[in-house]
Amino acid sequence: MQGKVRIGVMGAAGRMGQMLIRAVGEAEAATLTGVTERPGHAWIGRDLGEAMGGPARGVTVSDDPLEVFAGADAVIDFTTPQATLANAALAAQARCVHVIGTTGFTDKEIAALEPAQRHSVQVRAGNMSLGVNLLTLLTRKVAQALGEDFDIEIVEMHHRHKVDAPSGTALMLGEAAAAGRGVAFADVADRGRDGQTGARRRGDIGLAALRGGDVVGEHDVIFAADGERIVLRHLATDRMIFARGAVRAALWGQGRKPGAYDMIDVLGMRD
C-alpha cells in the first residue's frame, strides 16, 4: 500500500486553520506533517496539540513555510493574500500541491500567482464547498436562460471578523452569471452603491456585502424582473464543509500535471 499523503497547513491558529487540522485528521489517506503561523504569533515553537488545548501531537508550529513545504506533498493555505503569494513561489520550488482558499486578492495579485502554476499543481477557489460550486453551475445556467430582462444581484453575509469584500464566493457567483450571459464580469460588476448612483444600468451584476455576528457564510443570487424574482441561495452553517473540500483537493492534486485548477475540476463537474 502507498504511504499517506503528507499535508501541511498554513495559518494553523485561524478559524479555517483549526478546521483544516481537524479535516486532515479525519482523512484516512492523509497525515499532518507541518503547520505554520505568522512570525510573532503566540503558537510559534509550541506543540500544535497543546497550543490547541489538547494532548501533544508531535507537530511543532513553525514560522518557516519552506520547512513545511519541504516535508509535505500538499500544503493547504487559508491565510492572507500576501502570505499566499509568497507560499505559491515556495510550492513551485518544492513541486508541492498548493491548495489556496485565501480570498481578497487584487487582479494584480491573482496574476502574480501564475508563474508558480508552471511548476506546481495550484488549486484555488473562493469557496471549497460542494454546495457553492454546484450553485455556480446553476447560476451560469439560469443567467444564460433568462437574459437581461432579469437584473442580477448577489448579496452575501459573513461574520464580523471578515476582512475582504465582496466575498470570494460572491465573486465566483458573479463570474458564473457573467459567463452565462457571455460578458466579461469586470465590465458589468457594480461593487457597492452609495449616494446618487443613478438608475441601475441594464445588464449590470450588483454585489452587496453584509457583515455581522458569527455568520459562517450566506449567499443569494437574485434574478429580479418585472413581476417575478428567482433567488438561488446557499447557507453555510459549518466551516468543515470548506475544510473537507480543501483536503479533497490536496488528495486529488497528487500526480496531476502542474497548472491552475479549481474545485470544479476537483469535483469532476467541468462540462
Ligand X SMILES: O=C(O)C1=N[C@H](C(=O)O)C[C@H](O)C1
Ligand Y SMILES: NC(=O)C1=CN([C@@H]2O[C@H](COP(=O)(O)OP(=O)(O)OC[C@H]3O[C@@H](n4cnc5c(N)ncnc54)[C@H](O)[C@@H]3O)[C@@H](O)[C@H]2O)C=CC1
Can you read off the three cell numbers belonging to residue 229?
Answer: 424574482
CA dist., res. 15 & res. 36, Å (int):
14
- Pick from 7, 23, 33, 80 the residue near ligand Y by CB under 6 A: 80
Residue environment code for 100-139, b if the CB has 16+ CB neighbours within 10 A, otherwise e = bbbbbbeeeeeeebeebbebbbbbbbbbbbbebbebbbeb
Residue 52 gets the label, from left (phi > 0), alpha (psi -120 to 50) or beta, of alpha
Q: In angstroms, what is the minimal distance from the CB of 185 to ligand X?
A: 15
- To the query of whether residue 162 is one of the catalytic residues in this protein, the response is yes
Q: From the list 52, 59, 75, 79, which residue makes contact with ligand Y (rule: CB under 6 A)?
A: 79
Q: How far is the CB of 38 from ligand X (least distance, A)?
A: 17
Amino acid at 36: T
Interaction between residue 104 and ligand Y (CB under 6 A) = yes
Contact code string over 198-217 relative to ligand X, x by CB under 6 A: -------------------x
22 is in an annotated binding site: no
Closest CB 217 distance from ligand X, rounded Å: 3
Beta strand 61-62 pairing with 205-211: unpaired
83 binds, among ligand Y, ligand X, none (CB under 5 to 8 A by kind): ligand Y
46 is a site residue for ligand Y (CB under 6 A) = no
- Strands (E) in the chain, as ranges, are 5-10, 30-36, 61-62, 74-77, 97-100, 121-124, 151-158, 189-191, 205-211, 217-225, 228-236, 259-261
Of residues 66 and 183, the one with the C-beta less far from ligand Y:
66
Spatial contact of 205 and 140, defined as CB atoms under 8 Å apart = no
Choose, by CB under 6 A, the member of 5, 9, 13, 250 that binds ligand Y: 13
Kindly name the residue from 41, 98, 141, 162 that is annotated as catalytic.
162
Q: Which residue is nearest to ligand Y (CB)?
A: 14
Site for ligand X contains 133 (CB under 6 A): no
CA 24 vs. chain centroid, Å, equals 17
Report the residue number, 48 or 154, with the smaller CB distance to ligand X: 154
C-alpha atoms less than 13 angstroms from C-alpha of 228 in its C-beta half-sphere: 4
Closest residue to bound ligand X by CB: 217
> How far apart are the C-alpha atoms of 175 and 100, rounded to whole Å?
18
Q: From the list ligand Y, ligand X, none, pick the one residue 244 interacts with, judged by a Cβ distance below 5 to 8 Å according to partner type.
A: none
141 classed as catalytic: no
Q: Is 126 annotated as a binding residue?
A: yes
Active site residues: 158, 162
